[in-house]
């Protein structure tokens, strides 16, 4: 995502360049943040009127009721919940369900295990997001290309192959990063939202009575007169707010201000006008329910709109894929996924990352999904479970923040819980009716990812406990070196190690087998904090371990889950610190990695099938040398057997 990391706040007297920067930031937010929710008009209303073979009728009462529900769904969930409240719950400027869970854990501490529950909810929310990441590219691109059926019916047979080709190209270009094409995202989406607004406005001007649908009385009347139909319709109406989580997830890249201004100034009005226009079109001719979006446009404009819609849905898909990369990196830093290769695709933007493994998994999943469902209408039955589940988790975590950190009064919590939480429970319950028709798919993906994440986290705990016993206390080891007068050999040895309380296995093995220790020994612990970024001035701390002149020091490097990890670069920074204990050239240091050779046992702690899964994940984890950016020619691996 080609956007600044942390946008500075602008003062009233901001310079012209600062104002241009703010405008560019808003344009970038329009392109990246709102791609998913902005393309929902392509398929959402069409899906509402096709559920249960036409349970919702294209009549005056049903159309006004549906449009009213659509408008107030967007208002309550997006405008009130996300834009007004959730954007306030930032974790050092970062958003997203994992960042929110980490923030809750931080404010709760370890109060009766509730912090662990918060992280479990965060992991579940991230797992649901992966389900959304597979479905969104498939349904978005398919719905755009399906416009060919309206503008050129003879090309209906090429819809799936064309959509598959577009998505293949999209996944192939991920390795080069989005910054190369990111400058196009904003202008394309600005043109897209302008087209939405104009098309809807033309229809509203011709049939202004549809504006009455903005009154909530139509939604209540629809629900009161046909409660079951309204309930079923809610399962499809939730499609109008898919992508709302992106408002929060991308907060760290754009800031609250630009996201809010773009929403209220561009996106919300355009979406409202377009949905009103689609409603008016259906009332004018009920047969228009087959494709109310594309039929809004005159015949000559439909093929160009297919092209523009395809570009918009590719951008929407790109935002979701980039979000999956970001969530995966957060999960790795927080210890819920094994280390994977993370490539930074921009020399300027730390948030632009590419994870080859995640990209491959998503690509296969999207193609399988598209081949199995073959239409956006069928895919829509699978959509909703992941979205509504994530909404509920975000609301639950937010209410904790509001109570503990913001000290909200009980009546505010109850009101938010009833209005926002009640609406989301309704959406979630309505989507439960679609489980047998495809709703099981995102749940299966979420359960699989949740199992992988929790298994890895639990397996790490077990391995760490067993490894600690083998390593032994570091203070005792240092004392032994001084007491025995061990031989010191020239050179510098760097030992990456998670803590300074135990001895690195590689350091102990070198002493016990070779009976020597290097002249300079640097034990480095990379500590992941529950914040996205750690300021440079607070990242490093050096401990001489009780002896200032023995050449053995411990360096702690604190980093956030959005920071790039480069151990040699951190050592260079540490060596330049005033009064630093590091008296060596990091460019000539040797790195010794302690590798645990895992062995499956019947010891308690985790079920055997989960142990096998953990071992499989461990075997496919990235080499620590690559993860910490260590030089291959100066890195030595030394191992010891550890039971699981």
pLDDT of residue 350: 52
**What burial class does residue 380 get, using C-beta atoms within 10 Å of its C-beta: 0-12 exposed, 13-18 middle, 19+ buried?**
buried
Domain holding 361, by residue range, is 20-457
Top pLDDT among 635 and 639 is at: 635
Alpha-helical runs (H) found in 263-355: 268-284, 299-333
Residue 5 confidence (pLDDT)? 38
Cβ burial, residue 300 (10 Å; 0-12/13-18/19+): exposed
Query: The domain spanning residue 426 has which CATH number?
Result: 1.20.1740.10
| DSSP calls for 175-243 | GG-GGGTHHHHHHHHHHHHHHHHHHHHHHHHHSGGGGGGGSHHHHHHHHHHSHHHHHHHHHHHGGGGTT
- The predicted pLDDT at position 581 comes to 58
Same domain, 475 and 440: no
- State the pLDDT at residue 377: 72
Evaluate if residue 501 carries a pLDDT over 50. yes
Residues β-bridged to residue 541:
556
Phi, psi dihedral angles at 216 (to 5 degrees): -65, -15
Q: Same domain for 336 and 440?
A: yes
Cα–Cα distance list, 491 to 170, 192, 263, 403, 485 (Å) = 48, 61, 58, 55, 18
- Same structural domain, 416 and 437: yes
At 96 the pLDDT is 79
- My answer on whether 189 and 264 are in the same domain is yes
- pLDDT of residue 269 exceeding 80, the answer is yes
Q: What is the mean pLDDT of residues 183-210?
A: 91
Say whether both 408 and 545 belong to one domain: no
* Residues linked to residue 520 through DSSP beta bridges, in sequence order: 492
Same-domain status, 422 and 537? no
Query: What pLDDT, in 10s, does the model give residues 72-118?
Result: 999 999 999 999 999 888 777 677 788 888 888 888 876 657 778 88
Q: Are 613 and 455 in contact (CB under 8 A)?
A: yes
Q: How many domains does the chain contain in total?
A: 2
- Of these ranges, 13-17, 149-153, 210-214, 378-382, the one predicted with the greatest mean pLDDT is 210-214
Give yes or no for residue 267 having a pLDDT over 90. Answer: yes
Least confident stretch, 51-55, 74-78, 220-224, 384-388: 51-55
Q: Where are the beta strands (DSSP E) in 288-417?
A: 343-344, 353-354
162 located within any domain = yes
41 in a domain, yes or no?
yes
Q: Last residue of some domain: 403, 425, 457?
A: 457
Task: Check whether residue 447 and residue 520 sit in a common domain.
Answer: no
Claim to verify: residue 451 and residue 498 sit in the same structural domain: no
Query: C-alpha distances in angstroms, 243 versus 86, 119, 154, 358, 369?
Result: 14, 22, 32, 20, 19
The tokens describing 454, both together, are 């929790």
* pLDDT tens digits along 551-599: 888 889 988 766 777 888 888 888 777 665 566 777 888 888 877 677 7
Domain membership flag for residue 14: no
Which residue is it, tokens 């597979």? Answer: 134
129 near 242, Cβ under 8 Å? no
Residue 3 lies in a domain: no
Specify whether 484 is located in the same domain as 452.
no
Query: What pLDDT, on the 0 to 100 scale, is given for residue 424?
Result: 93
Instruction: Report if residue 8 sits inside a domain.
Output: no
Higher model confidence: residue 592 or residue 132?
592
pLDDT reading at 6 higher than 60: no
What is the rounded average pLDDT of the residues 630-640? 81
- 30 within a domain of the structure (yes/no): yes
Q: Note whether 451 and 511 are same-domain residues.
A: no
Task: For residue 624, tell me if it sits in a domain.
Answer: yes
Of the listed ranges 264-268, 280-284, 440-444, the least confidently predicted one is: 440-444
Is 174 within 8 Å of 321 (Cβ atoms)?
yes
Q: Are residues 481 and 516 in the same domain?
A: yes
pLDDT at 20 over 80: no
* pLDDT of 1 strictly over 50: no
Query: Is residue 427 domain-shared with residue 507, that is, in the same domain?
Result: no
**Model pTM score:** 0.78
565 vs 46: which has the higher pLDDT: 46
Q: End of a domain among 457, 484, 515?
A: 457
Q: What is the mean pLDDT of the segment spanning 5-26?
A: 58
- Domain boundary among the residues 399, 427, 457 is at 457
What does DSSP say about strands 353-354 and 343-344: parallel, antiparallel, or unpaired? antiparallel
- Which three-class secondary structure state does DSSP give residue 642? strand
In a domain, 9, yes or no: no
Look at 514 and 305; give whichever has higher pLDDT.
305
For the ranges 90-104, 211-225, 399-413, 428-442, the lowest mean pLDDT is seen at: 90-104
């Amino acid at each position: 995502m080609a956007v600044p990391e942390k946008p500075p706040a602008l003062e009233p007297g901001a310079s012209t360049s600062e104002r241009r920067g703010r405008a560019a930031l808003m344009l970038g937010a329009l392109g990246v943040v709102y791609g998913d929710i902005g393309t929902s008009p392509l398929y959402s209303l069409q899906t509402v009127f096709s559920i249960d073979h036409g349970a919702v009728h294209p009549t005056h009462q049903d159309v006004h009721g549906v449009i009213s529900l659509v408008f107030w769904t967007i208002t309550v969930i997006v405008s009130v919940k996300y834009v007004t409240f959730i954007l306030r719950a930032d974790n050092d400027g970062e958003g997203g369900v994992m960042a929110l869970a980490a923030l809750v854990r931080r404010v709760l501490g370890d109060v009766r295990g509730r912090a662990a529950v918060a992280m479990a909810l965060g992991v579940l929310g991230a797992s649901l997001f992966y389900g959304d990441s597979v479905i969104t590219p498939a349904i978005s691109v398919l719905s755009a290309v399906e416009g060919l059926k309206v503008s050129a019916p003879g090309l209906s047979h090429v819809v799936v192959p064309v959509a598959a080709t577009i998505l293949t190209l999209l996944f192939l270009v991920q390795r080069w990063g989005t910054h190369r094409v990111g400058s196009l995202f904003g202008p394309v989406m600005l043109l897209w939202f302008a087209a939405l607004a104009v098309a809807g406005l033309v229809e509203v001007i011709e049939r202004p009575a549809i504006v009455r649908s903005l009154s909530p009385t139509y939604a209540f009347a629809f629900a009161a007169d046909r409660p079951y139909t309204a309930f079923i319709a809610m399962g499809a109406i939730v499609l109008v707010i898919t992508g709302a989580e992106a408002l929060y997830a991308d907060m760290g890249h754009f800031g609250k201000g630009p996201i809010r201004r773009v929403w209220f100034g561009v996106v919300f009005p355009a979406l409202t006008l377009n949905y009103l226009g689609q409603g008016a079109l259906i009332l004018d001719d009920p047969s228009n329910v087959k494709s109310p979006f594309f039929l809004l446009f005159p015949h000559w404009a439909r093929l160009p709109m297919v092209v523009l819609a395809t570009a918009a849905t590719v951008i929407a898909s790109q935002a979701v894929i980039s979000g999956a990369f970001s969530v995966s990196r957060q999960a790795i830093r927080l210890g819920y996924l094994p280390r994977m290769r993370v490539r930074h695709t921009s020399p300027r933007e730390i948030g632009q990352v590419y994870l080859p493994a995640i990209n491959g998994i998503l690509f296969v999943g999207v193609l399988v999904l598209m081949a199995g469902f073959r239409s956006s209408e069928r895919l829509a039955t699978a959509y909703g479970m992941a979205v509504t589940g994530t909404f509920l988790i975000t609301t639950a975590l937010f209410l904790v923040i509001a109570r503990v950190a913001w000290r909200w009064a009980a009546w505010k919590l109850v009101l938010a819980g009833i209005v926002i939480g009640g609406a989301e429970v309704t959406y979630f319950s309505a989507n439960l009716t679609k489980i047998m028709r495809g709703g099981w798919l995102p749940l299966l993906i979420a359960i699989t990812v949740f199992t992988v994440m929790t298994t890895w986290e639990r397996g790490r705990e077990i391995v760490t406990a067993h490894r600690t016993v083998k390593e032994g206390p570091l203070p005792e080891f240092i004392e032994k070196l001084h007491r025995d007068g061990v031989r010191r050999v020239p050179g510098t040895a760097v030992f990456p190690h998670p803590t300074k309380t135990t001895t690195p296995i590689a350091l102990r093995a070198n002493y016990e087998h070779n009976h020597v220790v290097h002249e300079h020994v640097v034990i480095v612990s990379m500590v992941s904090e529950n914040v996205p970024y750690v300021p440079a001035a607070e990242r490093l701390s050096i401990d001489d371990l009780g002896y200032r002149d023995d050449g053995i020091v411990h360096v702690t490097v604190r980093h956030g889950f959005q920071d790039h990890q480069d151990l040699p670069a951190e050592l260079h920074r540490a060596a330049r610190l005033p009064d630093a204990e590091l008296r060596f050239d990091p460019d000539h240091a040797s790195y010794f990695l302690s590798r645990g050779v895992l062995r499956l046992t019947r010891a308690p702690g985790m079920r055997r099938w989960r142990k096998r899964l953990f071992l499989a994940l461990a075997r496919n984890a990235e080499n620590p040398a690559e993860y910490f950016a260590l030089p291959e020619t100066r890195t030595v691996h030394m191992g010891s057997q550890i039971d699981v």
